[in-house]
C-alpha cells in the first residue's frame, strides 16, 4: 500500500521488517520469499533513483533465484532483465 502511494520511506521500513521476519522463519537463506523481499527493497531503491542500492538487493535476489529455480526459469530471467535495465539507466544517469 505504501509503495502504491509512493511513500517510499514507509514502504522501505516495512519491507525491511518483512525481510527480518522471513530470515528468522526460514533456516535456509535461499528461500523464494526472501528473494521476493529483496526484490521489493530493490524496487523501492530503484523508484528513488538509488540504482546502486537497488542493484545490491536485486543481485541478492538473483543469487537465490538461480539456486532455487535455475538459470532458465522466468523468475530468474525477469530479475536478470531488471538488473540489466538498472545498469543501463545508471550508466545513462552518469553520462
Residue ranges per structural domain of the chain: 51-95
* pTM of the predicted protein model: 0.89
Predicted pLDDT at 85? 95
Parts of the chain with a pLDDT under 50: none
Predicted pLDDT at 8? 73
Using an 8 Å Cβ cutoff, are 60 and 79 in contact? no
Which cell numbers in the block locate residue 94? 552518469
Predicted pLDDT at 45? 95
Beta-carbon count within 10 A of 15 CB: 22
Pure H helices in the chain? 8-25, 32-47, 51-69, 74-94
Amino acid at each position: 500500500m505504501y509503495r502504491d502511494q509512493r511513500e517510499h520511506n514507509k514502504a522501505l521500513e516495512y519491507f525491511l521488517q518483512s525481510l527480518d521476519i522471513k530470515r528468522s522463519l526460514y533456516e535456509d537463506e535461499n528461500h523464494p520469499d526472501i528473494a521476493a523481499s529483496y526484490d521489493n527493497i530493490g524496487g523501492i531503491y530503484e523508484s528513488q533513483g538509488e540504482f546502486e542500492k537497488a542493484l545490491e538487493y536485486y543481485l541478492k535476489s538473483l543469487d537465490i533465484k538461480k539456486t532455487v529455480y535455475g538459470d532458465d526459469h522466468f523468475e530468474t530471467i525477469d530479475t536478470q532483465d531488471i538488473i540489466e535495465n538498472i545498469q543501463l539507466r545508471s550508466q545513462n544517469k552518469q553520462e
